[in-house]
Structure 1
Amino acid sequence: MMNESEQNSVETTKTSSLNLDAHIKTAQRKGASLYVVGGGLTLFVLAVFFLWLFIVKGFVVIINPSDARPSASISLSKGLGYVSDNRFYVFGSRAQLMITAERFETTYLDINESTPSTLDVLLTPSPAVISADLSHLEGETSWYIDDKLVQVSKTFEYSIAPGTYLLIADNPYYSDWTSVLNLERGETRQLELDLTRIEGQIVLNSVPSGASIFVDQRVVGQTPLTVPLAAGQYDIQLQLTNYETLEDNIEIRDDLTQPKRNYQLVPKKGQVQVNVSPAGGVLLLNGEATEPGLLSVSVNQKHQIRYSKEGFRPYQTSINVDLQTKDVLNISLEKMIGEVNFTSNLPAQVYLDNKLIGMTPQIKALQSLPTKVEFKREGYRNVVQTFTPKDKASINVQAKMLTEFEARRAEGRPLFVSTLGIEMKAFRPNAFTMGSPANETGRSRNEHQVKVDFSRSIWVSRHEITQAQFAAFDNKIPKSNKPLTMVTWLQAAKYCNWLSENEGLPAFYRIKNNQLLGFNQDSKGYRLPTEAEWEWLARKANRASATKYVWGNSDRLKNKIANFSDKSATGNQFVLDKFDDGFADIAPVGSFKADRAGLFDLAGNVREWVNDFYTNTSPNTVDVQVDYLGPLRGQQHVVKGASFNTGKFKDLRAAKRTIGEGAKNDLGFRIARYN
């Protein structure tokens, strides 16, 4: 067990230990603070060193010329940095440097990563300024420096690099001013110029002379006169009794010191009122066109006046006007009248300016004006002419009346049928007896013998109308050189009328609503051949006497004389024994030789429609029928000729006639017309 003294000793020892620990901790805290402060200072120093080493960039500026250096000043206009004398430091990679010096132009330098550390800068000297004021002088002054025009003005201000120059001031009214100028940099030179005025003179003449001369409204004398004047511009007036005041502006200048003028004074104007009837003509005053009304003319002079209008006798006179009297001139023109005799080869209606005046011949008194006359006659082309009657004389205006067809032929235009490839041949038929005699082998009872004659020539197509020729009228038809078949009589008649229309001929057939109303027998339009014409062509044309067949009277049939039903059709229909034409059916037109009349395929190939009606009524067989058209009426029409289907010899006779009962595959047509 510990005694009291030992306990006290132990407590004292514990107290001493505690105090020592406290001192140690206090010391430790003080040391740590010192370490922190020291470390911070070290880091700051290192940061400043790093910034200086890697971010701040220094430059040296060398300024030229050397005389600019004493007054030179360097500063940063953009970016961060520091300037000291001719050195500067930039924080970052970009900045702008401004350099100034007295009497030198301010210079700016852009600094970037590629800028070298030493910069040579050449400053530009400030320009000199020349100024002068000549606004008190007349005219614009041209300013030249070393013979080069730099400005045109009354006041002069010009900047130029320092140096020595020749300055010239050139004013058109003054002698040139010249000076040599030595100019320093930044110098302003104010010039005082004393220019000498150029002297000259104006020479003035007038016709007539004796006119008073005013120069800038001041009387200086009468023409002719020479007036001495200083260079400049002057307003000139010349005044003379009974003459108009003359005004001018004359300039005396360095390149024209003695201008000269020769004036023709204009007499003062008087007035004359000119009235004209009828209006709309041409009024000439001294040969120049003018308008009627109040005219101004020179006084005390003769003036020629002429007024004219087409269709009227012109009027001409001379007048003399004074200042005190206003003259009035009334002009009334008389019509020019001439006699016109209108004639034509056939009686025709005469229309003047679209108004009917009667039938030819016709005589009219008409005014001498361009006039249109039109001659008209039914069935003929209108004739239009323009003429001008002659004053107090007689003229003839004659028209040649032509049918449209004749007119086209006279113009040299081709026949429309020719453009389609249709070849026409002319014939002059003569009297013969159509039909067949009672004793002719193979005749039919309807082959009546009719005596016929012809008063008119005819045109007939040498070939049957082809598919291609009909296709121009009806484009549904295929185009080929074979004869058109499967065509009705009415379709053939319409085709004929269509040809007539395009040829300028009156239609032969009167057709309305697909009905035949009749014939125009006087027409020269296209039509089908009459039965009499067809039979005359087949039997009589170019023959001494009428024949039985197209080829003559022989009952022997030569091969290839025409297209009939030959041996190629054996077993299908009647055929002509031992006959060969080379075609099994329809042949192209012109495949066989022409007959004696110069026509093709009249004997065969396809049968042909003719113009005549077919009736069972017996015709007049006693009297001669002239231009016979057959019966006047009927329901069907006559078909003539044989075809590639014909296999009986009796049906090859030219007198053979059958009744047409519509379109057939072996039935076509050819065309004809009166000449």
Structure 2
Amino acid sequence: MTQPPSAPGAGSGGAEETIAPSAFRRAAEVRPATVAQKRYTWQTAVAVGVALLVGISYLLFSSRSIQFDVYPGPPDRLEVSGGWFQLPLADRLLLREGSYTVHVEKEGYYDVNQSLDVDESPSRTVTIEMRKLPGQLQVTTDPDVDAMVTVNRTMLGRAPYGPLELEPGTHLVTVRADNYLPFDYELTVPGLGIFQLLDVQLVPAWADVSISSEPAGAVVLRGEETLGETPLSIRLNEGSHDLTVVKEGFSAWEGVVDAVANVAQELPLIRLTPANAQLQVNSIPLGANVSVDGRYRGQSPIKLALSPDVDYEIGLSKAGYGSTVRSVRLQAAATQAITVDLTARAGEVTINALPQDAVIYLNGQPRGSGSVTLQLPSAPQQLEVRKDGYETFSRSITPRPGYPQTIQVRLLSDEEVRMRSIATTVSTSQGQVMRRVEPGSFSMGASRSQQGRRANEVIVPVTLTKPFYIGTKEVTNSEFLRFRNTHDSGGDIHASLAGNNNPVTNVSWADAVEYCNWLSRQEGLTPVYEKRFEKWEVVTPLPDGYRLPTEAEWTWAIRYQARSEASVFPWGNRLPPRRDSGNYADQAARELVPTVLPGFNDGFASTAPVGSFPANALGIYDGGGNVAEWVQDYYAVPTPGQTTASEDPLGPKRGAQRVIRGSSWRHAGITELRLSYRDFGTAGRVDVGFRLARSAL
């Protein structure tokens, strides 16, 4: 075993080492020593500056220079939306590659929302043409009379008329009023929303003519019309007038007066000479028209004052009777009377009345019921057909000798009269005309044997029990822009798509129903749609507001035209379409669509102004062609074999797509051109728009 070493000087008897205590310090009193670190401030600033310069250089060299040329300029406001980097540089704007929207505003012009795609081109000039707003025209007349205003040969209405929107340019304004000279004026409309007042000073087309005679109290005649007794001031229309002045016991005065418009004149005093010969003219029957040398003098019996030793021709005529002429020459102081028996002239009239127990009256006297044949004088006769519970039929008829007439009369029941008294059209606050459509029963879909038929066109029987209103025209760009002024229907694809009076396109189903709700609120009506879980749904029962037509309503109004049979195509049952029958994919659209109708040209490459083609039997335009149309229903394929009619269907209660009905300007195939064609979607397209509907509550 190795022993530990002994400490020097240690011994068993040595003294122990004394260990001094150290002072205790609390931990709180112990502070860590701060060690100075090396600073790199200027190096960091340099690094950040270099990074910024590199980033800015990259943005500058990878951006594209865009210059906007606005005509006419300068704009009041120009904004570019989209992207995250925009740097103004003098009259240019640096933009990164991508898609942008340019919004331009200028007073007096339509706002422009134009798409802009920035590509690899280093610099580019974008031309933006502003379109003038239409002008506002108010037409008044002085004096304020019943005058008709016509603009560009289109009759508009009674004056005062307006304000009327007119596109910039020259327009022909015509004002016509009875007894006034016509007014024609070529008006230059600057547009820019400027209001113009055209106050038309109408010039009278008559002359004030004063007539006096000696002795006074003579009767003034113009043809068979009695104008009054002298002294007399009358209005004669511009032109020549044959006047006769007669007084018993005096020879008649005959003359021609030339009236100059708006120029008053006074005829020289007419001195009547006493006549010492008199002729009493009688007729059978009484009331015959009497003329002397072709000049009307009055009705029989009448006493004529004639000059002696003058040959006169006395003419007598009466409606329904013959006419005759007598030659007369009287001696001085002679008095003579003639009586002329006019031969009655009769015509055959057959009257057939329904219901057959309706009573036929002529001149207030019953002549039978159902069907009667009568020989009647060829003079106006008052015909009436009466039956309790029916509206009385009344009209004037004139029998014609040698020409038998047959008159068919069907009395309307009181219920039919009530229905006809209901207005067939109403107008929205935006000027959109809506046609009332009465209910009926029909079938939706098409037979499998029909050429071009698709599997989703299952035949379904339907009954509509309630009347409704439907827009006679599709909603236009100008109407929709009042609701959403930033909307663009696709003017960058083809300029006509953005036309003021062309149907709005590029609208989703949701856009269409939001417009309906907006228009309902504008007119104080109850909106039809409400949002549930971020989806627009129909409120039931249907309120009084505007909405899209249901698929059944669209079919009844446009395909059936509220009749018992439907046509295959909007123009009939055969291809090709008749000329000017609608706006389809034609030769003019060759550069915009893949397929066109051979030999067909409607003159419009894309959409056409609404109402450019003939309406259907209900007065509804563009049921086929122009744009296809959103309807209210969710899309689904019906179950085949249904035999029970569905009443007032609103379509499936849920779904992912909405139904689109009708063909458009992009369609040329037999499948799409048919009125039973069904499409679906939710997003906007350049060939899909909509028309309004409303319940007739």
TM over 0.5: no
- TM-score, with structure 2 as normaliser: 0.36
Q: Hey, which of these two has a bigger chunk of helix by percent?
A: 1
TM-score, scaled to structure 1? 0.37
Name the larger-Rg structure.
Answer: 1
